[in-house]
Each structure stands twice: as C-alpha cells, then as structure tokens.
C-alpha cells in the first residue's frame, strides 16, 4: 500500500526541518510527502523550498486554520495513497515508526487507525521533566495501558491519550469520512472518538513519535475556552451519532462505556455541565415527544432493555463490601499520583543517604567517634527510615552532630521521622 505523510506548517521555521528530516529518515520511506504552509509569517516557506529537491511537495497559501490545512493535505494525498500519516510541523518521528506501524495496520483490515506511545520533549528536544504539569498529565492518562486488555472507549473517555494529530496513521477512506472539525484546541478529538466508538483503532504502546510541548501549544489556554470547546465537540458528536444509535447496539454499547468514563476524565470535559446542556435541549421537547421517545424503545431494537441494569453485579455481590465501593478512575489516578510522590521521595532519600554515608566515610571526627565506640546504623526497610536512623545516630554524637547539619543544608529533606 502506498503511504503519504501530510504536514500542516505554520510559523515553525525552527522545528519544520527536524520534522521533515525525521520523515525522510524513516526505515520504511513514504511514497509522498505533502506540506501545506498555512500563511506562516516566519521563514518556514523559504526553508520548505529547500526540501523540494528531496521529493517534498510544498504548497504555500493564505491562513485558513489547522483543521482546514490538514483536510486539504489529506485530500491531495488521498488521490493515490491508501495510508496517510499526519505530522505537525513542531513534532518529529522515530526512525522505525512506519516500519513498526504499517504491518499491523495492513494485517488487520478491520482497523482504520493506528497510534503509538509518545516521547514528550521540550522546545530544545530534551525529554520534558516529569515534574512538569504536561508530563504528569501524560503519565496519568497513559497509566491506563497497564490495565489488562484496556478498553479504548473507556481510555479515550478518560483522556485524549493519542494527544495529537501527529499520532494518527489512518486509511484514507476513514480520514475522508471523518474530516477534522473547525475546533481550535482539540480538532483531533472528534475524529478519535468516532474511531474508537466504531472499534477502528489499534494502539502500539511503543513511543514512536516525539511530541513537543512549548509555550505556543494551543492547549496552553485558560480553562473556560478549552472546556467550552470540549462541550461543543461532545455535543456535536452526540448530534452526529444520533441517527445511527437506534439501529446499532454495538455503537450504543461503546458510547455507554465512553460516556461513563468521561465522568472521571482529565481532558477538560465538565461532564456535569454537559448533562445540564442536554437537559436544556430536552426541555424544549413537548410531553408527547418525550413519551414517544420512550415508547420507541423496543426489546428487538434495544436488547439492553431486556434485563435490569447491573443485574449480574447484584447477583454476584458478596453482601459485605459496599455496593459501588470502587469509585473508579479518579481513585486509581489518585493512587497513581500518591505512588509517584512516594517514588520521588524515595529517590531523594536514597540520594541524601548516599551523600551522608560518603561524608561519614571521609570524616576524621567520625573515625574518632567510632574508636570511642560510637555506632552509626542505617536501620529500617525504606530509604526514609534508613536516612532517619543514620541522622539520629550522628546527631547523638558530639563528634558528628555537625555533619548532619552540614549535609542536610545541601538537601531538601529535613531530618524528620518517616511518616511525619
């Protein structure tokens, strides 16, 4: 199958060369590379022109927006390529991306899209520190991959784990059927939701794309604007799915899983507000319309109406644990956050313990204290306990108490008992 890469370019002269080089360096080379510059005001177009001799197709025009630019490039590439990969001009690929992804897509004709794990990088191509908010967000949303047989509808409801149009490799028919929408912050989310709800996505967790986080990312905006757009996108999605839902039980089942997961989402969708907006829409129905909507639910067309919801959950309940006691994803993410905090504290404690032991080994005063019978144990099972044990022993000796103060001034850890 022929493969095309399409790149929407806009004011990324500093990054577009890296993006193109990563495409040209693929071990499975694409058959076409189409770049549309969306009215850049920097040196992007001049730089793009230097790549024409290497087979890159370049079209420069006035600004029309990212979604329009991507859709136009897809239409151009779809003329003779069955598979189309999207790459934003500030991101870049790992060399094996196509070699790893295309065979999976080619081997499964029932799937239309494949995405992968991501490396999160900063403006200078360095890995984004895990202490950065955006890195923490990615770690949280990708923790879902460690579940046994993760459901993609639930995963996408939790958060936009593919994260970017750069992470889309898709069949042209699917891209043409669900073009990117005129949203500013999340024009990929609608496409991804249509994909997972129809069981059309494959996920390869291997990080095969470098996603750049920098101050000009469109996600860096105040909550109101992003939440409004997330609400609009989901209302559009429900509106467009409505004609199919009465006739497609599988689609309804996937939508149920997706919407249930959005109640704990970390992708800026205020699920409660969305229900309020839906209530406002239903408020415009007459009593007769509401009654007719309910009466239209037949057992033949709606098999989920044949049994009470959660019947199996009740029948298998142990009568001891609270029903519904598992509060779901929010608790799991909270647990992951706590675990990450402990891991960070453990690493800091090991570092401080090693520094203190090194200072102890090189201290003449400590050597004298040992000759006088002083002992400096590192008791405990955790690094915090071991550090605290050594700090206490050193502090109790006149010969070494100043060593604790000196070393702890270099550290963020205070000599407090573990657990406090």
Domain-embedded: residue 417: no
- Let me know whether 124 and 273 are in one domain: no
| Alpha-helical regions (H) of 90-214 | 97-107, 133-142, 152-158, 172-177, 189-197
Please state, in angstroms and rounded to a whole number, the distance separating the CA atoms of residues 14 and 216. 13
- Determine the length of the chain: 420
Query: For residue 413, is it within any domain?
Result: no
Instruction: Check whether residue 110 and residue 198 sit in a common domain.
Output: yes
Residue 79 and residue 66 share a domain: yes
Residue 358 and residue 308 in one domain: no
Same domain, 256 and 174: no
Residue 333 has pLDDT above 70, yes or no: no
Angle at 47 between CA 43 and CA 51, to 5 degrees: 160
Q: Tell whether the model's pLDDT for residue 36 goes beyond 90.
A: yes
Helices (H), 35-77: 44-49, 66-77
pTM: 0.75
Placement of tokens 């960070």 in the chain: 344
The tens digit of pLDDT for each residue in 338-394 reads 455 556 776 787 888 888 888 888 888 888 888 888 888 887 656 777 787 788 888
Question: Same domain for 70 and 212?
Answer: yes
CATH number, domain with residue 149: 3.90.550.10
Same domain, 122 and 100: yes
Q: Residue 50: which residues within 8 A CB-CB, separation 6 or more?
A: none
Three-state SS at 122: coil
* pLDDT confidence band for 259 (50 / 70 / 90): very high
In a domain, 226, yes or no: no
Same domain for 170 and 96, yes or no, is yes
Domain boundary among 305, 329, 353: 329
- Of 16-25, 92-101, 120-129, the one with minimum mean pLDDT is 120-129
Q: Are residues 288 and 176 in the same domain?
A: no
**Within a domain: residue 227?**
no
Give pLDDT tens digits for 38-62.
999 999 999 999 999 999 999 999 9
| pLDDT > 60? residue 29 | yes
Check if the beta carbon of residue 376 is closer than 8 Å to that of residue 368: no
- Give the model's confidence band at 410: pLDDT under 50 very low, under 70 low, under 90 confident, else very high: low
Which pLDDT value is given to residue 343?
65
171 and 264 belong to one structural domain: no
CA angle 2, 3, 9 (to 5 degrees): 145
Among 329, 361, 395, which residue terminates a domain? 329
> How much is the CA Rg of the chain, to the nearest whole Å?
28
Ranking 91-95, 98-102, 316-320, 414-418 by mean pLDDT, the lowest is 414-418
What pLDDT was estimated at residue 328? Answer: 47
**What residue numbers bound the domain in which 337 lies?**
330-408
Domains of the chain: total: 3
How confident is residue 8, by pLDDT bands cut at 50, 70 and 90?
Answer: very high
Q: Which helix (H) or strand (E) holds 249?
A: helix 249-262
- Whether 407 has a pLDDT exceeding 70, the answer reads no
Buried b (16+ CB within 10 A) or exposed e, 336-368: beeeeeeeebeebbeebbeebbebbeebeebee
Whether 192 and 284 map to the same domain: the answer is no
Both tokens assigned to 82 = 């069955």
User: Which residues have C-beta within 8 Å of that of residue 324, sequence separation ≥ 6?
Assistant: none
Residue 231 covered by a domain:
no
Q: Is residue 224 part of a domain?
A: no
Q: Are residues 43 and 160 in the same domain?
A: yes
Q: What is the pLDDT of residue 331?
A: 45
Res. 322 pLDDT band, cuts 50 70 90: confident
Instruction: Please report whether residue 126 resides in a domain.
Output: yes
Among 279, 307, 329, identify where a domain stops: 329
- Edge-to-edge strand ranges of the sheet holding 169-171: 56-61, 32-38, 3-9, 83-86, 169-171, 113-121, 201-212, 92-93
């Amino acid at each position: 199958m022929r493969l095309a890469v399409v790149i929407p370019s806009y004011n990324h002269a500093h990054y577009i060369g890296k993006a193109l080089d990563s495409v040209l360096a693929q071990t499975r080379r694409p058959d076409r590379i189409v770049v549309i510059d969306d009215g850049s005001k920097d040196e992007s177009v001049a730089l793009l022109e230097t790549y024409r001799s290497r087979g890159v197709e370049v079209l420069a025009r006035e600004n029309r927006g990212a979604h329009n630019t991507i859709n136009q490039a897809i239409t151009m590439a779809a003329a003779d390529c069955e598979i189309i990969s999207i790459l934003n001009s500030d991101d870049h690929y790992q060399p094996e991306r196509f070699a790893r992804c295309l065979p999976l897509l080619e081997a499964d004709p029932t799937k239309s899209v494949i995405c992968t794990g991501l490396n999160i990088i900063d403006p200078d191509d360095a890995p984004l520190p895990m202490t950065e908010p955006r890195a923490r967000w990615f770690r949280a949303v990708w923790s879902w991959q460690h579940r046994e047989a993760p459901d993609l509808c639930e995963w996408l409801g939790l958060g936009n784990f593919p994260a970017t149009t750069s992470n889309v490799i898709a069949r042209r028919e699917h891209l043409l059927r669900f073009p990117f929408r005129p949203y500013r912050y999340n024009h990929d989310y609608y496409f991804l939701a249509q994909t997972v709800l129809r069981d059309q996505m494959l996920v390869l967790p291997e990080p095969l794309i470098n996603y750049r986080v920098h101050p000009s990312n469109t996600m860096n905006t105040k909550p109101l604007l992003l939440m409004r757009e997330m609400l609009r996108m989901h209302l559009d999605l429900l509106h467009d799915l409505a004609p199919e839902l009465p006739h497609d039980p599988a689609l309804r089942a996937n939508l149920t899983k997706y919407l249930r997961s959005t109640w704990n989402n970390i992708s800026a969708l205020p699920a409660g507000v969305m229900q309020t907006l839906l209530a406002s829409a239903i408020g415009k129905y007459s009593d007769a319309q509401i009654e007719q909507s309910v009466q239209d639910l037949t057992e033949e067309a709606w098999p989920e109406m044949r049994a009470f919801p959660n019947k199996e959950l009740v029948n298998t309940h142990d009568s001891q644990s609270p029903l519904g006691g598992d509060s779901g994803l929010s608790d799991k993410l909270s647990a992951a956050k706590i675990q990450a905090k402990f891991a960070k504290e453990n690493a800091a404690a090991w570092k401080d313990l090693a520094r203190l032991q090194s200072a102890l080994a090189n201290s003449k005063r400590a050597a004298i204290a040992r000759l006088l019978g002083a002992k400096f144990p590192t008791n405990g099972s955790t690094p915090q306990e071991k550090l605290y044990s050594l700090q206490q022993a050193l502090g109790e000796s006149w010969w070494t108490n100043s060593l604790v103060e000196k070393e702890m001034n270099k550290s963020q850890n205070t000599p407090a008992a573990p657990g406090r």
